Amino acid sequence: MGDTYGSRRLKPARYRCGIVDQPGGRLTPRFGSLCMTIATRQTAAGLDVDKLLRMYRQMTAIRLFEERVNDLYTRALMPGLAHLYIGEEAVAVGICEALRPDDYITSTHRGHGHCLAKGAAPRLMFAELLGKEAGYCKGKGGSMHIADPATGNLGANAIVAGGAGIATGAAFSSKYLGTGRMAVCFFGEGALGQGVLYETMNMAQLWKLPVLYACENNLYNEYTHYSETTAGDMLARPAAFGIAAESVDGQNVRAVHTAASAMVERARRGDGPGFLLLNTYRYRGHHVGDVAREYYRSKQEEQRWMTERDPIALHGEWLVAEGLADRATLDRIHAEVAAEMDAAVEFALNAPYPDPGRVDEDVYA
Amino acid sequence: MPETATAVRELTFGEAIREALAEELRRDPRVVLLGEDVAEAGTAFKVLKGLVEEFGKDRVIDTPISEPGFTGLAVGAAMTGMRPIVDIMFGDFMALIMDQVVNQAAKVHYMSGGKWKVPLVVRATMGATRRSAAQHSQSLHAWPSHVPGLKVVVPSTPHDAKGLLKSAIRDDNPVVFFEDKISYAKVKGPVPDGDYTIPLGVADVKREGRDITLVATSSMVQVALGAATMLEEVGISAEVVDPRTMWPLDEKTLVESVRKTSRAMVIDEGYFRYGVTGEIASVIAEGAFYDLDGPVRRLGARHVPVPFSPALEDATVPTERAVFELARKMCNKS
Ligand SMILES: Cc1ncc(C[n+]2csc(CCOP(=O)(O)OP(=O)(O)O)c2C)c(N)n1
């Protein structure tokens, strides 16, 4: 897949190669604590260099966030379990980079990556994961239910395909109220087994709703390979409704972004929903406690994906090869993100638990 | 009661519901109706007849036969600035939408630490004796009542139906609103013209009495009132209390009535076991134990799937005669 970067071509380049600096720095406020001031620069092919670097940073942020979640779990500092997104970072980042801050997402049990990519602050996420009052949901939601109106996050959902109705409904209200907002429904390929997904895709296409169904095929529904649960061709399912559907290399953040941008643009135009099948892989277990995995997949398979198909390494190598960043820049990004994540963990560990007296609050609005 | 309406006419239960919906659609552009055959057909029960002509197909929306899908869609629309009302043709189909109602709508506000709201109304029907057999006759209002985060309304009169439905639509929480199918055409009563609301969580004493409290819901209110008339003829003064909402539940009014009468019977069309009658009976027992002359008694739908044959079906629902007999026994006047 070439780096056409969506159908909207950016300004023509002035030089055949290298970076063009645009006058006037631009703020990127949607990245919360990852926010930084950078100038808008473009490559010869018209690619937004800042965006390419930001995608690298965001994928790194998700990776380092998740590594710390695993660490908190193994040190018995985190209540319950968590489903790590490590390996799938390019999917959430490539798609969320195609969205406006006021666009909506619904997420899943494996939701940390989606929430971060949509702009969640790591320290409020960690606080929620540890059940603290400062967390996104005041400790009432936990890992599988991060929700945040400020970043358009309608909520991670622990019911497989639970976001299908909500995302489609958000797209419905976007159309009805004329807000122009897009809704992205993230789900794993396991959700293809749920009827409600097809019911809502049918209505989305009938009513031309601005929703993107983002199916993350990480090959396994929990502990079972998808081929044992999924008949026929996955893309034939959205195609049956006449929904624009495409299969994408989910380890290539630029390919994901290009495909998502095109889908978002046509959906916003009123041309109806889109469906992306994102081929990816989760490196870790179904959840943090799933460590003995050889009964359903081999160590060699895991190793192959990690060494040959890692989305962060691949994007980093591409940035270096294109001359858009050097190793030192990437290392600096990594170090900055690591420091930020450590501070976020520290914040969450030190944050107080909610007063037990608040247990009855928020049942009713 | 914030009643500002003036002229009072006689309307059927169904007409009162239609009037409430029309007035709310007129008042608030965020209100939309979604369901199967709701537009030109005005639903299988014709309750919505005429609404599409006034409000158009953008607001009175025919959906595919996808109850979980359109209920889920309505949850998302409610979270993002609308006030959808979904129409569940037969209350039996609650079984299909339970995930959307119980795991999504009811939990969103709490799980998000109070950040998202779901101002959604699910209108569903209930009630047997229409010879519709086991999958089109159930009264499943106990189900959502069991779940924190939901409000559940069971109106019994046209007046209550209009005022309660308006409150449900204006409420910022998911509300399940159960309409008795038999009452649509059969129950008539005075309904004020124009706008008025009845708060959710306030019971209504439908008839005052001294000797026994008959707590009755939805279709069973008419049955209790009929029984009360029969009881009067044998010298028993029955009070009929209609909780009107299953949740919030007006425990105070129920307990006060029983403290006064010292006897209580609970009558409900839902299944007898693990249901509404058991819950209300224990509320009364806990709140009025020392004022009771005897145990709280209950009448509910027989614990069988609703049968088709009239000879069998009529044996499954509490009748005026059954209420009368039991009340007479409780008052030692058999
Ligand atoms: C309706 C429902 N059924 C079962 C589960 C238990 N469960 C949690 S995650 C999961 C597998 C989901 O697989 P997939 O959708 O592919 O997502 P992945 O975990 O691979 O990201 C299952 C079966 C659930 N949460 N919800």
Averaged pLDDT, A321-333: 97
Minimum CA–CA partner of B74 in chain A:
A169
pLDDT tens for residues B26-36? 999 999 999 99
- Residue B97 near residue B67, CB atoms below 8 Å: yes
Share of chain A above pLDDT 70, in %: 89
Closest Cα of chain A to B147: distance in Å? Answer: 10
Per-residue pLDDT, A39: 53
Nearest to A55 by CA among A115, A113, A3, A117: A117
Coil, strand or helix at A359: helix
CATH T-level topology, domain A27-286+293-351: Rossmann fold (3.40.50)
For β-strands B238-242 and B204-207, DSSP reports them as antiparallel
Nearest to A213 by CA among A197, A233, A232: A197
B68 touches chain A (CB under 8 A): yes
pLDDT tens for residues A134-190? 999 999 999 999 999 999 999 999 999 999 999 999 999 999 999 999 999 999 999
Task: Using pLDDT thresholds of 50, 70 and 90, give the confidence band for residue A274.
Answer: very high
Residues of B designated catalytic? 136
Q: At what angle do helices A311-321 and A89-96 cross, to 10 degrees?
A: 60
Nearest to A216 by CA among A169, A163, A173, A267: A163
| Residue-range domains of chain B with CATH | 9-192 (3.40.50.970), 204-330 (3.40.50.920)
Query: Any idea what DSSP says for residue B100?
Result: I
A158 lines ligand 1 (CB under 6 A): yes
In the reported structure, the alpha carbon of residue A280 is separated from the centroid of ligand 1 by a whole-number distance in angstroms of 16
Going B21 to B26 to B30 to B34, the CA torsion angle's sign is positive
Per-residue pLDDT, A107: 98
Task: Using pLDDT thresholds of 50, 70 and 90, give the confidence band for residue A41.
Answer: confident
Collect all residues with Cβ–Cβ distance below 8 Å to B4 and sequence separation of at least 6: B194, B195, B196
Report whether pLDDT(A23) > 60: no
Do A361 and B114 make contact, defined as CB atoms within 8 angstroms?
A: yes
Task: Using pLDDT thresholds of 50, 70 and 90, give the confidence band for residue A24.
Answer: very low
What's the full length of chain A, in residues? 365
pLDDT tens for residues B140-195? 999 999 999 999 999 999 999 999 999 999 999 999 999 999 999 999 999 999 99
For β-strands A104-107 and A153-156, DSSP reports them as parallel
pLDDT tens for residues B127-153? 999 999 999 999 999 999 999 999 999
Averaged pLDDT, A33-51: 69
Per-residue pLDDT, A100: 98
Going A298 to A302 to A304 to A307, the CA torsion angle's sign is negative
Cis-peptide, bond into residue B119, ω within 30° of zero: no
Averaged pLDDT, B261-276: 98
Instruction: State the alpha helices, DSSP H only, in B142-275.
Output: 142-145, 158-170, 181-186, 219-233, 251-261
Do A173 and B80 make contact, defined as CB atoms within 8 angstroms?
A: yes
Nearest to A124 by CA among A359, A353, A347, A362: A347
Per-residue pLDDT, A1: 35
Averaged pLDDT, B244-265: 98
Residues from chain A that touch B103, judged by Cβ atoms under 8 A, are 159, 162
- Residue B152 near residue B140, CB atoms below 8 Å: no
A28 to each of A31, A256, B117, how far by Cα in Å?
7, 21, 29
Collect all residues with Cβ–Cβ distance below 8 Å to A304 and sequence separation of at least 6: none
A251 to each of A161, A278, B14, B104, how far by Cα in Å?
23, 8, 57, 31
Share of chain A above pLDDT 90, in %: 87
Q: What residue ranges do the domains of chain A occupy?
A: 27-286+293-351
In the reported structure, the alpha carbon of residue A222 is separated from the centroid of ligand 1 by a whole-number distance in angstroms of 6
Q: What is the mean pLDDT of chain B?
A: 97
Other Cβ atoms within 10 Å of B25 Cβ, number: 21
Other Cβ atoms within 10 Å of A282 Cβ, number: 21
A155 lines ligand 1 (CB under 6 A): no
A196 lines ligand 1 (CB under 6 A): no
Residues from chain B that touch A199, judged by Cβ atoms under 8 A, are 64, 66, 68-70, 72
A189, A191, A192, A197: CA torsion to nearest 10: -140
Q: What ipTM, to 2 d.p.?
A: 0.94
Task: Using pLDDT thresholds of 50, 70 and 90, give the confidence band for residue A43.
Answer: confident
Collect all residues with Cβ–Cβ distance below 8 Å to A85 and sequence separation of at least 6: A62, A66, A92, A110, A111, A112, A113, A114, A282
Task: Using pLDDT thresholds of 50, 70 and 90, give the confidence band for residue A220.
Answer: very high
Residues from chain A that touch B77, judged by Cβ atoms under 8 A, are 169-170, 172-173, 176
Q: Which residues pair with B204 in a beta bridge?
A: B242
pLDDT tens for residues B84-132? 999 999 999 999 999 999 999 999 999 999 999 999 999 999 999 999 9
Rounded CA-CA distance B256/B244 in Å is 16
Averaged pLDDT, B217-239: 98
Q: At what angle do helices A327-350 and A311-321 cross, to 10 degrees?
A: 140
pLDDT tens for residues A115-132? 999 999 999 999 999 999
